[in-house]
Structure formats: C-alpha cells, structure tokens
Amino acid sequence: AQSVAQPEDQVNVAEGNPLTVKCTYSVSGNPYLFWYVQYPNRGLQFLLKYITGDNLVKGSYGFEAEFNKSQTSFHLKKPSALVSDSALYFCAVRDPYNTDKLIFGTGTRLQVFP
Amino acid sequence: DSGVTQTPKHLITATGQRVTLRCSPRSGDLSVYWYQQSLDQGLQFLIQYYNGEERAKGNILERFSAQQFPDLHSELNLSSLELGDSALYFCASSAAGDIQYFGAGTRLSVL
C-alpha cells in the first residue's frame, strides 16, 4: 500500500534561515509525490509535485523539494524562511492503482519566528 | 483562489440530523474528490466521482453518500450524524488525474 510519513509534528526556524520539512514515502511503482500547504481556516494549496525528471522540483512561494529515490524521501525546502510561511504542510502520494486519490501524511506545523 | 467552491463554510447541527455539503469544481475538471480532515484521523479520502460516475470509495461511512450532477457539481450527504462526524470536509477537483485543487472546506460541528 502507498503511504507517506512526516516524522516531525512541528518544525521551528528563525526568519531568514533555511527550512526543511521532511517526508518519506512507501510506494509500489513510480511515486507521484506532492506538497500542499494549509493556512488557518483555509483549504489546502498546491505547492509542487514530482512525477518524473529532475530530482529537484521548484514550486510556489520559493519552495522546492528534493526527491531521493535511494532514501525514499521527498523533503520540502526553502533557502530563506519568512514569518508568513508559518502554516501546516502536508506531503502526499497519489495512488495510481486506485483512481488517483491522494494519501496524505499527518502534517508538519512550520513555525517561523521573527 | 483555487477555483473550487464549497458551501456552506460552516454548519452547526445536532446529532441524528442530516446535512448536505456542496462543491463546484474548477471549470472543466471532471473529477471531484471528497476528503475529511479531523484531529484524530488526519486527512482521509472519502470518495471520488468522475464525470458523474462514482470512481472510488475510501473510508466513507455507510451513513454518508455523494453524487455528481450533470453540471459536474457534487454533493456530499451526511446522515444520522454523530459527534464524531465533526470535522472539516474538503472537496477537490482535477483534470484527468492531474493536480488536485482544494476548496476552502466546510466545517461541520455536530452538537
């Protein structure tokens, strides 16, 4: 079965510092991986996806993610964090064997301090 | 704005009642997905429709049902509500298995 794990419930980082939000996956076949962000009282916003190609994927708001097949990881990164990046981040894998539903991780709350 | 519209934003109701949540997908998207977000279960897939037909079921209770209409909007019906059904319900739409775009959600409170 397809699954993703987000090992950290919360990540704290100072504004201007680089940030990393971790995600590992378990899939059979090629992984289709996504990152979404959820701000308070809002829906999930798509950040980026990995289907195939370059291991470094660039997305919205200056975020990028690094796909690592050997470590089965898809960590979200940003070189310089902003206070406004504080939100809940979800990693997800698409299940191509079951009509493309998304399977989400448990989420990581990112707190960026001024 | 994702282009996916969900109404209402908030619903407060009592146990045993029935409610209907509505979703209008992005223009041109044929697939609609429903997800439930709760503190204890996280984000869980409920059901998917594609061009009016049910395509997949996830962790959806028998008390819950959904449909997609010819104009592609979808409704999620929740009946015999229990306290544990209190959650955020999201609708998402996509074009042919591509990126899923989410609505702002409906927050259901069962008292």
Q: For residue B101, what is the enclosing H or E element?
A: strand B101-102
- In this complex, the residue of A36, A102, A106 whose CB is nearest that of residue B45 is A102
Residues of B with CB under 8 A from a CB of A: 2, 4, 6, 31, 33, 35, 42-43, 45, 48, 50, 55-56, 58, 90, 92, 94, 97, 99-105
pLDDT band per the 50, 70, 90 thresholds, residue B105: very high
> Using one digit for the tens of pLDDT, what is the confidence trace for B51-92?
999 999 998 999 999 999 999 999 999 999 999 999 999 999
pLDDT of residue B71: 95
pLDDT of residue A105: 95
Nearest to A49 among B4, B50, B99 (CB): B99
HSE on the CB side for A94, CA within 13 Å?
Answer: 20
E strands present in A6-106: 10-14, 19-21, 24-26, 33-38, 44-50, 56-58, 64-68, 73-78, 87-94, 102-104
Which of B48, B56, B90 is the closest to A44 by Cβ?
A: B90
Q: From CA B18, how far away is CA B13, in angstroms rounded?
A: 8
A98 pLDDT band, cuts 50/70/90, is: low
Token pair 């008292």 is found at B111
Residue A89 confidence class, pLDDT cut points 50, 70, 90 = very high
For residues B35 and B43, the answer to whether their CB atoms sit within 8 Å is: yes
d(CA A95, CA A92): 10
> If interface means Cβ-Cβ distance under 8 Å, which residues of chain A face chain B?
34, 36, 41-46, 49, 90, 94, 96, 98-107
